[in-house]
Amino acid sequence: MTWLPTSLRARLVITFTLVAISASVMVAGLGYQLVRRELLGRVEQHTVAEVRDTLSTITLPIGTADVVWASGSTITDGDLRDLVAALDGPRRDVIITYGHQWRASPDARVTLADVPDQLRWRAAQRLVYQRIRVRDEPYLVVAAQIHRVNHNGQPKPTGLTGYVFLSLSNEEEVLTRLRTSLAQAGLITLIIALSVALFSARQVLLPVRRLGAAARALGAGELHVRLPIRGRDELAELTATFNETAAALERTVSELRSLESMSRRFVADVSHELRTPLAAMTAVTDMLSEEAKSLPDDVGEAVQIVIREIERLQVLVDHLIEISRFDSGAAVLRQERVDVADTLTDCLEMRGWADQVKLNVPSGLTFLLDARRFDVIIANLVGNALRHGAPPVIVTARLVEDGLEVLVRDHGPGIPKEALPHVFDRFYKAGADRARSDGSGLGLAIAKANAELHGGSITVELCDPGTLFRVYIPRWPEGGGG
């Protein structure tokens, strides 16, 4: 798996460093090649010119004006030695050949076998030179056939061939030192480039980090966050855009909060205002319910409908008032140690559900609760199970490791799977049959809010058959816990 940097800073530093390395390598490589070519070129030119001049001034003492060499015996070993001495010099090894005869410089480190075959063939035609390595030592080899001018002024080959080996060790040492110096300079350049890259990346990414921190603060609700604008580059434009967006978001959120506050206040005011006429209507319906049996059938049925709707409206108003308390932050938790079994039994008996619900609670189980709010939680869950589920409805309470757990289980058809994420939403009713029910659509939302006020939670899951609601209330610290 290929490792790739993910942070923008790492990518900037790596890119900047790679560019610096590439530029350093290119400059060092070109500089080295230029120096090497110039150095070796001068050595070659000087050596070739010197050999050529030496050959042109050599006096061959043997032969006549018309005959270059009468026979092979015309050339003596002393002649070959003289020619070697004429071409010899510092750092040079010279080899002169004539037919099968050859003579080398004293203490020569090369032999005739070190001369490349192609160079020998080319030397028969003209003066040539070539760089070679002999036993890992560099040499420049200059090779040429020695000519002699006859009485007609025409150069004639003598059959003599000279090979001048010039050691290039000094030049190689110079180039080695140059490579070392260039490598050190490249390392220094790399360190400088890396330092500049880190500094530049920090300077470039500082506004980006500030933008990131400001965006996180904005997401956390600090809508007043703004950033100073520095310069006139793209980052400054981005900062200005961020400030404008933050200002627009702050205005929008302020308007929404104001509208939400007005809406909550309106619901609370309307709910409270409805309480008075509802109280009067409830008193009237109590009288009507007593007389409904003596009224004609149509009138009696109408009276029952009015009574049911007034009761439903009373529940809705009570729920709206309760919800408005949670929304305004006015809901207060008043905890006391209660007997859980007694509290659950009272909740069921007060609503006439004792015969319809099976209760499983260990005797003597006590816990620190707000009894009124705990009653609201259980009443909403059990009422929901009785209205929309099927018997048996079972309520189980037990202590768990770090709190109290209450399970409310029915054995009905269950909540549709797609409705599970929304059962605690306000005014949500799953299915058409539930939409026509007497419930307000706020009961489960109120139960959830009361559980969360205790620091706990409510979850729902499907069973086979039915639905299971799980209430969890955590154990409070010593001195205030259950």
Clarify whether residues 27 and 176 are in a common domain: yes
With CA atoms as reference, report the closest residue to 413 among 466, 469, 462. Answer: 466
Going by C-alpha positions, the residue among 421, 415, 377 that lies closest to residue 397 is 377
Same domain, 340 and 462: yes
Structure-model confidence comparison of residues 42 and 19, the more confident one: 42
pLDDT of residue 150: 65
**pLDDT at residue 147 in the model:** 78
Residue 433 has pLDDT above 60, yes or no: no
How confident is the model at residue 59, as a pLDDT? 67
Q: How many CB atoms lie under 10 A from the CB of residue 395?
A: 24
Burial 429-459 (b: 16+ CB within 10 A, else e): bbeeebeeeebbbbbbbbbbbbbeebebebe
Lowest mean pLDDT among 183-192, 202-211, 246-255: 202-211
Task: Give me the mean pLDDT over the 188-201 stretch.
Answer: 82
Last residue of one domain, picked from the residues 287, 305, 327: 327
At 480 the pLDDT is 47
Average pLDDT estimate for 243-252: 87
- Residue 84 placed within a domain: yes
- pLDDT (tens digit per residue) in 310-320: 777 777 777 67
The answer on pLDDT for 143 being more than 80 is: yes
Same domain as 261, residue 308:
yes
Same domain for 341 and 400?
A: yes
- Note whether 268 and 295 are same-domain residues: yes
Q: Is the residue at 465 inside a domain? A: yes
CATH at 294:
1.10.287
Top mean pLDDT of 268-272, 278-282, 356-360 is at: 356-360
Mind giving me the DSSP string for 254-321? Answer: HHHHHHHHHHHHHHHHHHHHHHHHHHHHHHHHHHHHHHGGGS-HHHHHHHHHHHHHHHHHHHHHHHHH
Give pLDDT, residue 1.
45
| Amino acid, res. 392 | P
Q: How confident is the model at residue 291 (pLDDT cuts 50, 70, 90)?
A: low
| Residues 137 and 100 reside in one and the same domain | yes
Q: State pLDDT tens for residues 59-93.
A: 665 443 344 443 444 677 888 888 888 888 888 89
**448-457, pLDDT tens digit by residue?**
888 888 889 9
The pLDDT assigned to 140 comes to: 92
- Which of 458, 319, 465 lies closest to 388 in space, CA to CA? 465
Does residue 94 lie within any of the structural domains? yes
Residue 385 lies in a domain: yes
What is the average pLDDT across 277-283?
A: 73
How many Cβ atoms are within 10 Å of 136's Cβ, its own excluded?
Answer: 5
For residue 452, the domain's CATH number is 3.30.565.10
Query: Does 294 share its domain with 306?
Result: yes
Q: Do residues 323 and 385 both lie within one domain?
A: no
- Residue 238 included in any domain: no
3-state SS assignment for residue 128 = strand
pLDDT tens digits, 209-239: 888 888 888 888 888 888 888 777 777 888 8
DSSP label at residue 393? E
Residue 240 pLDDT grade (very low, low, confident, very high; cuts 50, 70, 90): confident
Taking the C-alpha atoms of residue 91 and residue 204, their distance in angstroms, rounded to an integer, is: 59
Tell me, yes or no, whether 245 lies in a domain.
Answer: no
Of 145-159, 161-175, 346-360, least confident by mean pLDDT is 145-159
- Do 42 and 187 belong to one domain? yes
With 70 as the cut, is the pLDDT of residue 138 above it?
yes
pLDDT score recorded for residue 60: 62
- Which range marks the domain in which residue 95 is found? 60-167
Phi, psi of 305 (to 5 degrees): -65, -45
Q: How confident is the model at residue 446 (pLDDT cuts 50, 70, 90)?
A: confident
330, 264 Cβ separation under 8 angstroms: no
Domain boundary at 327, 351, 370, which?
A: 327
Please give the residue that has the higher pLDDT: either 45 or 259.
45
Kindly report the average pLDDT of the chain as a whole number: 81
The Cα 438–Cα 448 span in angstroms is: 20
Q: Domain of 100: which CATH number?
A: 3.30.450
89 with 32, same domain: the answer is no
**Per-residue pLDDT at 259 exceeds 80:** no
Q: Do 51 and 187 fall into the same domain?
A: yes
* Element spanning 398, H or E: strand 393-400
Rounded distance, CA 477 to CA 403, Å?
11
Lowest-confidence pick of 367-376, 397-406, 423-432? 423-432
429 and 365 together in one domain: yes
Which whole number is the average pLDDT over 344-373?
Answer: 90
Residue 479 lies in a domain: no
Number of domains the chain contains: 4
**174 or 71, which is more confident:** 174
Q: What is the pLDDT of residue 328?
A: 66
Query: In terms of C-beta distances under 8 Å and separation of at least 24 residues, what long-range contacts does 54-57 make, across chains too?
Result: 54/86, 54/87, 55/87, 55/144, 55/146, 55/162
Alpha helices (H) along 7-67: 8-57
Position 68 scores a pLDDT of: 45
pLDDT score recorded for residue 459: 92
With respect to residue 250, please indicate whether it lies within any of the assigned structural domains.
Answer: no
* Residue 351, pLDDT score: 87
Of 336, 337, 479, 468, residue with least CA distance to 410:
468
